[in-house]
Structure formats: C-alpha cells, structure tokens
Amino acid sequence: MDQPIPKLGVRSTRQRTAVITVLREMENFASAKTIHQELLKRDLKVGLTTVYRTLQSLSEAKAVDVLHMSNGESLYRHCRNSDHHHHLVCTQCGRTIEIDGGPVEQWANEIATKYGFRLTGHDAEVFGLCNQCLAGN
C-alpha cells in the first residue's frame, strides 16, 4: 500500500505532488535532472529549481533515500521501507535492492564509541553488478 504523500511546507502544490508521483514510479535512483526530464516527458510543467527544492524537502523529512555519488551528484529514490536500511546498487543498470545493515550497524556503533563519538547516523551503500548485467543482458 502506498504511503500518503508527505506534507511539504505549508501546502502541497501541484508541482510538488507531480515530483513525488514521478519519483514513486521510478524503480532506480535518479538525479534531479533525470526526474525533471521525466516530468517534461509527461508534459508536467515543473521547473528544475522546484524539483531540487522538493527533493531537498523530502530528504530532510526522510521521505526519500539519497545516494551521494563520488562525483558529487545526489541521486534520489522513493523510500519503500520506513525502517533504517541500506542499498545494494548495480553500477551498470542502476537496479537497487534495499538491504538491512547487518554487522554494519554494530561496527558503526563500536567505531564511534572507540573514538569517543556518540553515533547520530551513518551511510553504507554496496555497489556491484547484478546477475542480469553479469550475464550480459
């Protein structure tokens, strides 16, 4: 069952609702520019600045997953799981699987404690090639 569209500021606008709808329909992580291009394909008039602002609001509300790539670009995906989780991401096709942190959770707590930190959060994403890409499909 779909989660309700989160409130974004004082009022939800047509543009913000369009961004959220497109984001929910995309399977893989996507950049703000890719999301904007999809909106234009659907003849939905939403400015790129509005897309960036909406994604920032969703990110702050923890309503989207965000991948920070090594090139500085941020990629976004609708959260399908409201619990703390990580991602396994295919570097070729972008296929994404939500995974739990397993031993990463314990390690993050231990390393923070070891160095006198109180853990407030962490990111751990796993990148590789999925079976279909390895098979050449």
Q: Tell me the pLDDT tens digit for each residue of 48-72.
A: 999 999 999 888 887 888 888 878 8
133 annotated to bind ligand:
yes
> pTM of this prediction?
0.70
pLDDT surpasses 90 at 89: no
In the chain, which segments carry CATH 3.30.1490.190?
82-137
93 annotated to bind ligand:
yes
Torsions phi, psi for 25 (to 5 deg): -85, -10
The residue count for the chain: 137
> Judging by DSSP bridges, how do beta strands 86-90 and 125-128 pair with one another?
parallel
CATH of domain 82-137: 3.30.1490.190
CATH topology of domain 1-80: Arc Repressor Mutant, subunit A (1.10.10)
For the segment 1-17, the average pLDDT, to the nearest whole number, is 62
In the chain, which segments carry CATH 1.10.10.10?
1-80
90 annotated to bind ligand:
yes
CB within 8 Å of 108: residues ≥ 6 apart: 101, 119, 122, 124
What long-range pairs does 85-88 form, CB within 8 A, spacing at least 24?
86/123, 86/124, 86/125, 86/126, 87/29, 87/125, 87/126, 88/125, 88/126, 88/127, 88/128
27 annotated to bind ligand:
no
